[in-house]
């Protein structure tokens, strides 16, 4: 008899409330939960495809070990953990703790115990080599916050704002930045109906840009230029908030000087946008309505080489116009499963964001507030000498699909003495691994929304805009006869075998602990630890504002009656937000000094390739599932139809796309939402480097076009992964 129960989708950080139907021990249907007060029946295509993801015929039901002939054979998870622990002990004894690294991908983040325990393990062996997907996506968000400081009153709520500015992001698809991800289409529709004027800066007329009041469609890579121009105009026309700036910010004169060269005429020419449209966008953002809103940038803006600068200018523009919650206004994102905090109408000052901790052996890179520079990890594996990485454990990630410079990545992974993946199928990376640990999947584990609360410390414009929380128990058993583990249990198993004591402080990520008033929870694990995930969640929520048991009593989720109001500034507070950071404004001077006309004249690479989100996939996950790919398992090279015709091609033609670094095969597809000089492609597709002839079956790996050591952010190591100069030729 089928049973239907409320659950939580964890494919992305939105954590939609869903209804899951189980029949004969299998997950057979997932829909939106109409009784969930936050989502009200909403879920996306990815969430509704969870039964296909769970029941994927290629799903691993047993862990795998590479055999002598290069194949794979099932191995009991306990035996695999025994062998991996022994190998790690040998490598640490011979090469030192730094020889072991962990990479945490985006699919590990929805499982908070997994990420925290992985970090606890790497610290227990005293290795600094903990890397995440953050530093190859949008690390500039944390760098910018460290340089600028935090506003302790929090964000302006989207549902009250009369204007909003989005740069290089498409939240109707990504559900990540700006428009609240809890049914973003509904949230935007309601905002527009009440009179919001949305401004979007994007080289593509995305689903979000198509609904904007003003859409600036610039040359790629000019986001910092446009932001500097908007700031300059707002300062020149005195459209900023002088009282807020005087009381709460330092560095105004430095900012004004740094943007002074970005005149309206200069920016319009350089970015190739209409002058009047630029002026209108700046004035609308600064003055429209009684409650003007905020500015957020996404992956597209962060991929274009100056991501940290773009994010910093977004914060400077926000502060310049006083776009933060003030005393007496409601707290936009109060905690529920995290400890209560008192929001105050005052700054938290800047803090050290980079240049500390572990120093990598390449490119002068160090640890940062955004994490260790993942783009340098392949070099750390390949570079001989003291400190060389010999072992890598990948949790919830697929470096062969996601990391830049795929050929270098492949050489690095093949050279490792130990590569372990925790993976639900034989992904590209798992096909190179020595061991593949088969984990349980979403509905086979308990879930809670604590991680969705924590993400607000990652950047403005993210997180749950209400005192909402949900807990969901396990809804389906693992398949009969399977041998599956949860990721956090794997790391505990290693620690027991290696006689380690692990501990983690909840909220270690995103600077969350920096703003907690009550002591954060410390969870300790050692060889005597025996506990379930449910018990671990209870420990993680021990000092939450709303007890976990109370949250669990509302099976459809609940918006709690939390009277959270921004408090007055402390009388003795003299802290300031910094809108004049010397390092980042120095980078802006470098942007101004660039010869943009010469770059534009590159006839060998006349197109610029930009990233594009896919509504059906979360990075490389699910690309081979017919339910999600609709018969198209590749990522087209989207081009304007006139650009395709100019090349003498037809939509569907097979082409070679070449950057100055490398080339990939691709299938072109007409898309009139793009500029004629722009190509857009989804990342994290393609096969191994020897499988280019399978382009129509697997797609193209855009990361192969990207070198990691030529153009990169000097702080985070993030290479240019957008605005890539390319040429297109027929095959």
Same-domain check for residues 297 and 170:
yes
pLDDT tier at 514 (50, 70, 90 boundaries)? low
Q: Kindly give, in sequence order, each residue whose CB lies less than 8 Å from that of residue 201, ignoring residues fewer than 6 positions away.
A: 165, 166, 167, 168, 215, 216, 218, 223, 226, 281, 301
Angle between helix 223-236 and helix 582-593 axes, rounded to 10 deg: 110
Question: Is 477 in contact with 444 (CB distance < 8 Å)?
Answer: yes
Same-domain check for residues 625 and 693:
yes
Average of per-residue pLDDT across 631-651: 94
> What was the pLDDT predicted at 602?
82
Same-domain check for residues 118 and 213:
no
**Residue 74 belongs to a domain:** yes
pLDDT tens digits for 193-217? 999 999 999 999 999 999 999 999 9
Is the pLDDT higher at 425 or at 521?
A: 425
Residue 701 pLDDT greater than 50, yes or no: yes
> What was the pLDDT predicted at 510?
40
**Residue 297 belongs to a domain:** yes
Same-domain check for residues 304 and 172:
yes
Least confident piece of the model among 34-43, 56-65, 458-467, 677-686: 458-467
Residue 483 pLDDT greater than 90, yes or no: yes
pLDDT tens digits for 364-412? 999 999 999 999 999 999 999 999 999 999 999 999 999 999 999 999 9
pLDDT tier at 108 (50, 70, 90 boundaries)? confident
**Residue 8 belongs to a domain:** no
Residue 327 pLDDT greater than 90, yes or no: yes
The CATH number that applies at residue 722 is 2.40.40.20
- When the pLDDT of each residue in the chain is averaged and rounded to a whole number, the result is 93
Question: Is 657 in contact with 705 (CB distance < 8 Å)?
Answer: yes
Least confident piece of the model among 106-120, 263-277, 417-431, 581-595: 106-120
Alpha helices in 554-625 (DSSP H): 582-593, 596-600
Give SS3 for 496.
Answer: helix
Tokens representing residue 596 in the block: 């943009």
The CATH number that applies at residue 416 is 3.40.50.740
Residue 516 pLDDT greater than 70, yes or no: no
pLDDT tier at 536 (50, 70, 90 boundaries)? very high
End-to-end Cα spacing for the chain:
55
pLDDT tier at 624 (50, 70, 90 boundaries)? confident
Same-domain check for residues 278 and 425:
no
Same-domain check for residues 245 and 175:
yes
Least confident piece of the model among 142-151, 300-309, 547-556: 300-309
Q: Which domain holds residue 319?
A: 156-323+579-583
**Residue 497 belongs to a domain:** no
What's 618-671 look like in SS3? ECCECCCCHHHHCCCCCCCEEECHHHHHHCCCCCCCEEEEECCCCEEEEEEEEC
CB neighbours of residue 234 within 10 Å: 21
> What was the pLDDT predicted at 630?
76
Same-domain check for residues 160 and 116:
no
Same-domain check for residues 230 and 163:
yes
Residue 468 pLDDT greater than 90, yes or no: yes
Same-domain check for residues 309 and 411:
no
Question: Is 454 in contact with 513 (CB distance < 8 Å)?
Answer: no
What is the Cα–Cα distance from 378 to 396, expressed in whole angstroms? 18
pLDDT tier at 563 (50, 70, 90 boundaries)? confident
**Residue 374 belongs to a domain:** no
**Residue 313 belongs to a domain:** yes
For 578, list phi and psi in degrees, rounded to 5. Answer: -105, 115
Same-domain check for residues 74 and 161:
no
Average of per-residue pLDDT across 98-124: 90
Question: Is 284 in contact with 197 (CB distance < 8 Å)?
Answer: yes
Place of tokens 């930009």: 610
pTM: 0.96
What is the Cα–Cα distance from 114 to 455, expressed in whole angstroms? 16
**Residue 109 belongs to a domain:** yes
The CATH number that applies at residue 164 is 3.40.228.10
> Which residues is 63 bridged to in the sheet?
75
Question: Is 415 in contact with 380 (CB distance < 8 Å)?
Answer: no
**Residue 201 belongs to a domain:** yes
Domain end (from 415, 437, 459): 437
Question: Is 508 in contact with 470 (CB distance < 8 Å)?
Answer: no
Output the CA torsion 224→227→229→235 (10° steps).
Answer: -130
pLDDT above 90 as % of the chain = 81
Question: Is 722 in contact with 220 (CB distance < 8 Å)?
Answer: yes
Question: Is 422 in contact with 396 (CB distance < 8 Å)?
Answer: yes
> What was the pLDDT predicted at 507?
56
Same-domain check for residues 121 and 257:
no
> What's the total number of domains in the chain?
3
Same-domain check for residues 179 and 80:
no
Give SS3 for 354.
Answer: strand
């Amino acid at each position: 008899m089928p049973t239907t129960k409320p659950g939580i989708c964890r494919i992305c950080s939105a954590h939609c409330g869903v209804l899951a139907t189980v029949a004969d021990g299998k997950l057979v249907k997932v829909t939106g939960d109409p009784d969930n007060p936050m989502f009200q029946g909403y879920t996306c295509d990815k969430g509704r495809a969870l039964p296909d993801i769970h029941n994927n015929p290629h799903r691993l039901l047993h862990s795998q070990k590479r055999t002598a002939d290069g194949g794979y054979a099932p191995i009991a998870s306990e035996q695999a953990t025994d062998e991996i622990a022994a190998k790690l002990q040998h490598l640490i004894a011979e090469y030192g703790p730094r020889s072991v690294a962990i990479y945490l991908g985006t699919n590990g983040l929805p499982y908070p115990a997994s990420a925290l325990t992985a970090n606890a393990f790497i610290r227990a062996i005293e290795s600094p080599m903990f890397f995440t997907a953050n530093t190859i996506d949008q690390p500039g968000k944390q760098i910018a916050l460290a340089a600028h400081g935090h506003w302790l009153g929090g964000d302006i709520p989207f549902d009250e704002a009369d204007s909003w500015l989005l740069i290089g992001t498409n939240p109707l698809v990504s559900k990540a930045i700006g428009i609240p991800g809890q049914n973003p289409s509904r949230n935007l529709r309601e905002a527009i109906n009440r009179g919001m004027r949305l401004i979007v800066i994007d080289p593509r007329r995305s689903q979000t840009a198509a609904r904007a009041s003003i859409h600036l469609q610039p040359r790629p890579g000019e986001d910092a230029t446009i932001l500097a121009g908007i700031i300059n105009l707002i300062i020149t026309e005195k459209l900023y908030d002088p009282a807020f700036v005087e009381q709460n910010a330092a560095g105004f004169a430095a900012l004004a000087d740094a943007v002074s060269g970005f005149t309206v005429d200069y920016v319009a020419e350089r970015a190739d946008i209409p002058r009047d449209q630029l002026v209108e966008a700046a004035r609308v953002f600064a003055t429209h309505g009684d409650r003007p809103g905020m500015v957020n940038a996404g992956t597209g803006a962060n991929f274009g080489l100056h991501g940290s600068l773009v994010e910093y200018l977004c914060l400077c523009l926000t502060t310049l116009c006083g776009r933060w919650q003030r005393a007496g206004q409601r707290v936009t994102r109060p905690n529920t499963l995290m400890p209560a905090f008192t929001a105050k109408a005052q700054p938290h000052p800047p803090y050290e964001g980079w240049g500390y901790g572990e120093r990598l052996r390449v490119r002068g890179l160090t640890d940062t507030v955004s994490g260790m520079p993942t783009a340098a990890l392949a070099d750390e594996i390949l570079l001989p000498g003291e400190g060389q990485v010999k072992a890598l454990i990948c949790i919830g990630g697929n470096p062969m699909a996601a990391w830049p410079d795929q050929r270098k990545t492949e050489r690095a992974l093949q050279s490792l003495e130990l590569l372990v993946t925790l993976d639900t199928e034989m992904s590209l990376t798992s096909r190179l691994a020595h061991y593949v640990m088969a984990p349980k999947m979403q509905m086979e584990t308990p879930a809670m929304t604590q991680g969705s609360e924590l993400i607000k410390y990652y950047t403005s414009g993210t997180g749950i805009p209400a005192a909402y929380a949900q807990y969901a128990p396990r809804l389906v058993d693992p398949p009969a006869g399977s041998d599956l583990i949860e990721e956090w249990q794997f790391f505990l198993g290693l620690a027991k075998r290696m006689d380690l004591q692990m501990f983690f402080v909840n909220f270690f990520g995103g600077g969350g602990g920096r703003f907690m008033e009550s002591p954060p929870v410390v969870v300790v694990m050692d060889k005597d630890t025996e506990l379930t995930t449910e018990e671990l969640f209870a420990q993680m929520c021990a000092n939450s504002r709303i007890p976990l048991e109370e949250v669990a009593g509302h099976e459809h989720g609940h918006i709690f009656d939390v009277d959270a109001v921004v408090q007055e500034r402390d009388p003795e507070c003299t802290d300031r937000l910094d809108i004049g950071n010397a390092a980042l404004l120095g980078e802006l001077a470098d942007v101004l000094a660039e010869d943009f006309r010469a770059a534009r004249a590159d006839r060998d690479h006349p197109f610029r390739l930009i990233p594009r989100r896919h509504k059906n996939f979360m990075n490389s996950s699910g690309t081979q599932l017919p339910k999600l790919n609709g018969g198209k398992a590749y990522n087209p090279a989207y081009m304007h139809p006139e650009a395709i015709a100019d090349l003498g091609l037809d939509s569907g033609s097979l082409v070679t796309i070449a950057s100055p670094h490398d080339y990939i095969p691709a299938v072109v597809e007409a898309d009139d939402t793009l500029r004629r000089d722009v190509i857009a492609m989804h990342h994290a597709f393609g096969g191994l480097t020897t499988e280019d002839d399978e382009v129509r079956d697997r797609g193209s790996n855009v990361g192969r076009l990207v070198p990691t050591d030529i153009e990169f952010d000097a702080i985070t190591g993030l290479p240019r992964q957008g605005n890539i100069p390319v040429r297109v030729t027929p095959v």
